[in-house]
Amino acid sequence: MTTLERPTPLPTMTDKIARIDAICDQARILPVITIAREADILPLADALAAGGIRTLEVTLRSEHGLKAIKVLREQRPQLCIGAGTVLDRAQFEAVEAAGAQFVVTPGVTREILQAGVESDIPLLPGISTPSEIMMGYALGYRRFKLFPAEISGGIAAIKAYAGPFADVRFCPTGGVRPDNLLSYMGLPNVMCVGGTWMLDSGWIKNGDWAAVEKCSAEAMALLEG
């Protein structure tokens, strides 16, 4: 095999950790989006972006998830689009093919962790226990989503994890709201938070994109202090 025929090597786990850091540090708030209607894809993304939220986690919780990822990657290249609620290797491969720039899972299996090791794009695996952190840690993961954050110990748990897992950082998701946002973001081992409070179902159902934009802008303003 000549040099030209050799496959491009996969990014190292260190490279992918750096990419997750860049994505999450820039995002700070990662909206967890479930698309109920195909017609909502672009106006919802535009409303979030107008409010200052330009990194989006589009979940596979509806039939429109994969389509939304494809559409946004094609038509809104200025946004950073990730895939959420990825449950197995087949879904991982599907969102990768759709153009997702990162992947988020609600939990971990050996299969999904290995898929992340073997992929070009970074994986942010979901955990809720120290044992799950250790499972990912053994494969080189150092960045995790804590889910569901409040039920899994919230701020107190993240503080406790800083002891045995000093080089690990988290994206807490599940129960994060404007009234506890700053408490989470004030922790040194939190890189961003995930949330849905700017995605009120009534606003989206009624096409009230101005309300989505306003809520997003208010959330980002909280972080500006």
Rounded Cα distance between 160 and 164, Å, is 8
Q: Active-site residue among 70, 145, 150, 213?
A: 145
Grouping H, G, I as helix, E, B as strand and the rest as coil, residue 184 is helix
Query: pLDDT tens digits for 138-157?
Result: 999 999 999 999 999 999 99
pLDDT tens-place string over residues 112-133: 999 999 999 999 999 999 999 9
**145 catalytic residue (yes or no):** yes
Which tens digit of pLDDT belongs to each residue from 53-111?
A: 999 999 999 999 999 999 999 999 999 999 999 999 999 999 999 999 999 999 999 99
Question: Once rounded to an integer, what is the mean pLDDT over residues 155-177?
Answer: 98
Query: How confident is residue 1, by pLDDT bands cut at 50, 70 and 90?
Result: very low
pLDDT at 2 > cutoff 60: no
Alpha helix (H) ranges present in 99-180?
110-117, 130-137, 154-161
Q: How deeply is 186 buried, as exposed, middle or buried, from its count of CB atoms within 10 A (0-12, 13-18, 19+)?
A: exposed
Residue 170, CA distances (Å) to 25, 188, 191, 192 in order? 11, 10, 6, 7
In the chain, what is the greatest distance between 2 CA atoms, to the nearest angstrom? 59
Mean pLDDT, the chain, whole residue set = 96
CA torsion angle 37 115 157 101 (round to 10): -50
Encoded amino acid at 88, one letter: D
* Annotation says 57 is catalytic: yes
Supply the pLDDT for residue 37. 97
pLDDT band with cut points at 50, 70 and 90 for residue 4 = low
Report whether 163 contacts 188 (CB < 8 A).
no
Collapsed DSSP state (helix, strand, coil) of residue 148: coil
Supply the DSSP symbol for 91.
Answer: H
Selecting among 57, 132, 150, 213, the annotated active-site residue is 57
Left if phi > 0, otherwise alpha if psi is -120 to 50, otherwise beta: which for 174? left
The domains located in the chain, with CATH, are 6-141+192-220 (3.20.20.70)
46 within 8 A of 209, measured Cβ to Cβ: yes
